[in-house]
Amino acid sequence: MTDLDFRQDASYPAAGPQNTNLADILERVLDKGIVIAGDIKIDLLDIELLTIRLRLFVASVDTAKKAGIDWWETDPALSSHAARNALKDENRELRARLEALESRSEDTSADSR
């Protein structure tokens, strides 16, 4: 590999834009980037689920609605910070349901062939 020579390149620095909104940052610090295994496994939700919860992307909400998932409408985390443990459990349960849903729809599409 050729040695990298980036130093003293005036055009290089990218300090990041001013006044960035949270969604712009989240979709970069969470969704993309290089995948590196840490020692402490943090299960950052799929950005899809996370952003639904935070109502950051209506497009995702529409997708979820089509799949019959509308739990965020009554999600206590969206109105208060209470019931956090319950939320965690709910989260697990929802992922399980989502998996079940997805495998079912795969089955159906396989059947229809």
Partner 1 sequence: MSQGEEEQGLMTERGTGTSEANAVYAFAVCHTEGDPDVERLTGVTRDEPVRCLRIGSLTAIVQTVRGSDFTDEVWQKRLTDEAELERYARAHHSVVSAVASQFPTVPLPLATLYNGDERAALSLAGESARFRAALTRIAHHAEWGVKVYVPVARSAGDDPSDERPASAATRTRPATGAGRAYLERKRNLHSRREQRQADSLRVADAVDADVSRLATESRRLRPHGGGAGDDRRVQVLNATYLVAGHRAAELDLLVAELRRRTGAHIEVSGPWVPYSFVGEV
Under rule CB under 8 A, residue 27 binds partner 1 = yes
Residues 53-112 that bind partner 1 (CB under 8 A): 53-61, 77, 81, 84, 87-88, 91
Cα–Cα distance for residue pair 64/21, rounded to 1 Å = 23
Q: In angstroms, what is the minimal distance from the CB of 21 to partner 1?
A: 8
Q: In angstroms, what is the minimal distance from the CB of 74 to partner 1?
A: 14
Cα angle for residues 30, 78, 42 (degrees, 5° grid): 30
* DSSP secondary structure code for residue 39 in this structure: S
List phi, psi (to 5°) of 23: -60, -40
Q: 21 or 112, CB closer to partner 1?
A: 21
Residues 44-63 that bind partner 1 (CB under 8 A): 44-45, 50-51, 53-61
Q: 27 or 97, CB closer to partner 1?
A: 27
Both ends of the chain: CA-CA distance in Å? 49
